[in-house]
Amino acid sequence: MFEEIQKVEFTKEMKKDYTILVPSMLPIHFQLIVPILRDSGYHIEIAGGDTRQIVEEGLADVHNDICYPCLLVIGQMMAALKSGKYDPDKTALMITQTGGGCRASNYLSLMRKALRSIGYPQVPVISLNFSNLEKNSGFQFTVPMLVKAGEALLYGDLLMWIYNQCASHELHKGDSKKVLDQCVDKLTRQFQKNRYGGLKKNYRSILDAFAQIPRDDAEKPKVGIVGEIYMKYSPLGNNHLEEFLIQEGAEPVVSGVMDFLLYCFTNRFVDRKLYGFKRLTDLPTKLGIQILYGFQNGIIHAVKEHGVFQAPTPFKHLITLVEGTISRGAKMGEGWLLTAEMLELIDSGVNNIVCTQPFGCLPNHIVAKGMTRKIKDRFPKANIVAIDYDPSATKINQENRLKLMLANARMEEKKASGVHQPEKQPSKIGEEILV
Ligand code: SF4
C-alpha cells in the first residue's frame, strides 16, 4: 500500500549547528558558491566519496530503473551519511531542482525514501529551487547572497571555458590548475570582503592570468561535451571526461550554465505559446532574459576584446540553430537545448561531440541520441559519439569508444589538411571497441 513519506523541515534553529551536505556537480562553480553560503551562516559541505561505493549505495537505496544521475546523487548523500563523518541528528541534505517534468522532480521523495530505508528519517532535505516547489524556513537566499552566487556562476562559466582552452595546450603540466586555484582564491576573498560588482575588471584579470601560461600552438582535436546537465558537468557522473580528453591530447569544449538558465527562462514563452499561459508572466520573464543576455554578453565581449582565447557563442544565436531540426516544445530534461548545443558546436567548427547519456533518461535519449541521425544528415562531417553511463558501464569501454572517436577526428583532420591516409584494416582494438 502507498505510504506517505513525511517531509522534515529545515528550521531557522537548525541553521546554527547543522551541516548541510550538497552533492558534487560543477567543480569550479561550487568552489566559488560554497564559501558564499558559508559566509552567510550555513555550514555547507560538498559530499565526496569513492565512486564505486557511491554507485553501490545508490543501487541499494534507489529503484534500479531510476535514472543514473538520481542514483548517483542519492548514493553519494547516503554514503556520506553512513561514513560516520556526519552526525545524522545534525545534518541536512540539499539539492537543486528546476521543477521540470522529468524524474528530477522526484529526487526529493526518492531521497526521503532512501533516508528512511537507511534509518535516518530525521534528516531534513532542502530543495534549492526558484519555482516554489518547496520552502524551508531555515534556508533563504538574501539579496547579497543571490548577487554573489549569480556572479560566482558567471566567473565559473568563464573559468571553466578558459581552463579547458589552456589545460589542453599547457607546456608545464599543472600550470592551468594553479592559475585556476589562484583565481578562485582571489574571487573568494573579494566575496568575503563583500566586494561584488567589478565583473569587467575581474574578467580581464582572469584572462590575463591564463594568457600568461606557456602553451603550445599544436592543432588538437576540439571535442564538445553535451548531455544531461549532471552528466555533462559532473566528473563523478562522466568519469572525469574533461580530464580524460585532455590526457588524450584533445581540447574539451564545454559551454556554461548560463545557457541552461536562459533555456529555462525562454521555455516560459514556449509554454505560453503552446499551452496558452497568461501574458502577465511575460514581463518578469522578458526582464530576466534581458538581464541574463547582458551578463552573457559581458563575458563574450571581455573574451573577444582580450583577443587571446576563443569566445563562447551567444544564446541568441544558439536558439536560432534548432529551427527545422527540433521543436522548441521538446523541453523535458535538457530538451531542445541539447540539440542546439550540438548544432552550435558544429556551427563553430567543432565537429567532434561526446554526448553523455545517462541510463534511464528518456528525455535526453530523444533530444540527443535521437537527433544524431538528423544532425549527421545535415552535417556529414559531424563526428558524434553517444556514451552511455550506467551503474554497470565499465570505464574502459567508455574510454575505448572515446579513443575511437578521437582516432576518427584525427583522420578527418589529416584528410582536410591534404595528408594521405592509407585505408586501415580492422584491427583487434577496433573489434574490442565494438564489443
Ligand atoms: S533529465 Fe534525465 S537524467 Fe536528468 S533527472 Fe531527468 S530523467 Fe533523470
- The CATH number for 381's domain is 3.40.50
Mean per-residue pLDDT for 225-240? 96
Domains in the chain, number: 2
Question: For residue 338, is it within any domain?
Answer: yes
Question: For residue 83, is it within any domain?
Answer: yes
Among all chains, which residue has been given the C-alpha cell 551541516? 19
pLDDT (tens digit, 9 = 90+) per residue, 360-404? 898 888 999 999 999 999 999 999 999 999 998 889 999 999 999
Looking at the fold, whether 118 and 244 belong to one and the same domain comes out as no
Q: Which atom of ligand 1 is nearest to the CA of 107?
A: 5
DSSP secondary structure code for residue 328 in this structure: T
Q: Distance from CA of residue 211 to its chain's centroid?
A: 25
Question: For residue 130, is it within any domain?
Answer: yes
Nearest CA to ligand 1 atom 5: 104
Looking at the fold, whether 226 and 341 belong to one and the same domain comes out as yes
Q: Which atom of ligand 1 is nearest to the CA of 358?
A: 3
Among all chains, which residue has been given the C-alpha cell 539579496? 143
Instruction: Write out the DSSP string of 34-100.
Output: HHHHHHTT-EEEE----HHHHHHHHHHHS-TTS-HHHHHHHHHHHHHHHTTSS-GGGEEEEEE----
Q: Which of 226, 361, 365 maximizes ligand 1 atoms within 8 Å of its Cβ, making it the mutation to test the pocket?
A: 361
Q: Which atom of ligand 1 is nearest to the CA of 68?
A: 3
Question: For residue 294, is it within any domain?
Answer: no
Q: Which of 70, 232, 260 maximizes ligand 1 atoms within 8 Å of its Cβ, making it the mutation to test the pocket?
A: 70
Strands (E), 288-434: 352-358, 383-389
Mean per-residue pLDDT for 166-190? 97
Looking at the fold, whether 100 and 224 belong to one and the same domain comes out as no
Helical ranges in 92-142 per DSSP H: 107-117
Ligand 1 neighbours (beta carbon < 6 A): 67, 69-70, 102-104, 228, 333, 358, 361, 363-364
- Indicate the residue among 137, 164, 188 that finishes a domain: 137
CA separation for the pair 419, 304 (Å, rounded):
33
Looking at the fold, whether 225 and 130 belong to one and the same domain comes out as no
Instruction: Write out the DSSP string of 381-413.
Output: T-EEEEEEE-TT--HHHHHHHHHHHHHHHHHHH
- CA atoms within 13 A of residue 117's CA, in its CB half-sphere: 17
Looking at the fold, whether 102 and 225 belong to one and the same domain comes out as no
Question: For residue 276, is it within any domain?
Answer: no
Q: Which helix (H) or strand (E) element contains residue 123? A: none
DSSP secondary structure code for residue 139 in this structure: -
Q: What is the pLDDT of residue 420?
A: 52
Of 81-85, 108-112, 257-261, 413-417, the least confident:
413-417
Looking at the fold, whether 246 and 376 belong to one and the same domain comes out as yes
- The answer to whether residue 279 scores a pLDDT higher than 90 is no
In the chain, what is the greatest distance between 2 CA atoms, to the nearest angstrom?
71
- Indicate the residue among 81, 113, 137 that finishes a domain: 137
Which residues, including other chains, have CB under 8 Å from residue 399's CB and lie 6 or more apart?
244
CA angle centred on 147, ends 141 and 151, rounded to 5°? 125
Phi-psi category of residue 350: left, alpha or beta, with phi > 0 → left and psi -120 to 50 → alpha: beta
Looking at the fold, whether 326 and 235 belong to one and the same domain comes out as yes
C-alpha 102 to ligand 1 mean position (Å): 6
pLDDT (tens digit, 9 = 90+) per residue, 313-330? 999 999 999 999 999 999
For residue 100, what pLDDT band results from cuts at 50, 70 and 90?
confident
Q: How many CB atoms lie within 10 A of CB 418?
A: 6
Q: Which of 230, 234, 238, 366 maximizes ligand 1 atoms within 8 Å of its Cβ, making it the mutation to test the pocket?
A: 230
Mean per-residue pLDDT for 43-51? 94
| Strand arrangement of the beta sheet that strand 43-46 belongs to | 43-46, 19-22, 91-96, 125-128
CA separation for the pair 244, 267 (Å, rounded):
34
pLDDT (tens digit, 9 = 90+) per residue, 288-310? 899 999 999 999 999 999 999 99
CA separation for the pair 248, 21 (Å, rounded):
34
Residue among 379, 430, 425 at smallest CA distance from 405 = 430
Of 193-197, 243-247, 318-322, 394-398, the least confident:
193-197
Mean pLDDT score of the chain: 90
Looking at the fold, whether 112 and 241 belong to one and the same domain comes out as no
- The answer to whether residue 428 scores a pLDDT higher than 70 is no
- Indicate the residue among 101, 121, 137 that finishes a domain: 137
Looking at the fold, whether 249 and 386 belong to one and the same domain comes out as yes
C-alpha 270 to ligand 1 mean position (Å): 20
Pairing between β-strand 91-96 and β-strand 251-253 as defined by DSSP bridges: unpaired
- The answer to whether residue 431 scores a pLDDT higher than 70 is no
DSSP secondary structure code for residue 422 in this structure: P
C-alpha 249 to ligand 1 mean position (Å): 31
Nearest CA to ligand 1 atom 2: 361
Among all chains, which residue has been given the C-alpha cell 582580450? 306
Looking at the fold, whether 132 and 228 belong to one and the same domain comes out as no
Q: What is the pLDDT of residue 425?
A: 42
pLDDT (tens digit, 9 = 90+) per residue, 105-159? 788 889 999 999 999 999 999 998 776 678 888 998 899 999 999 999 999 999 9
Task: Give the N- to C-terminal CA distance of the chain in Å, as an integer.
Answer: 43
Question: For residue 169, is it within any domain?
Answer: no
CA separation for the pair 430, 434 (Å, rounded):
6
C-alpha 164 to ligand 1 mean position (Å): 26
- The answer to whether residue 6 scores a pLDDT higher than 90 is no
3-state SS assignment for residue 330: coil
pLDDT (tens digit, 9 = 90+) per residue, 33-43? 999 999 999 99
Question: For residue 299, is it within any domain?
Answer: no
C-alpha 309 to ligand 1 mean position (Å): 33
Highest mean pLDDT among 1-10, 298-307, 354-363, 418-427: 298-307
Q: What is the pLDDT of residue 281?
A: 62
For residue 432, what pLDDT band results from cuts at 50, 70 and 90?
very low
Looking at the fold, whether 231 and 355 belong to one and the same domain comes out as yes
pLDDT (tens digit, 9 = 90+) per residue, 249-259? 999 999 999 99
C-alpha 59 to ligand 1 mean position (Å): 17
Q: Which of 72, 73, 74, 103 maximizes ligand 1 atoms within 8 Å of its Cβ, making it the mutation to test the pocket?
A: 103
Q: Find the domain containing 47 and state its range.
A: 12-137
C-alpha 96 to ligand 1 mean position (Å): 13
State pTM to two decimals. 0.92
CA separation for the pair 421, 55 (Å, rounded):
43
Residue 20 has φ and ψ, to the nearest 5°, of -105, 120
C-alpha 60 to ligand 1 mean position (Å): 19
Query: Residues 114, 62: contact at Cβ < 8 Å?
Result: yes
C-alpha 356 to ligand 1 mean position (Å): 12
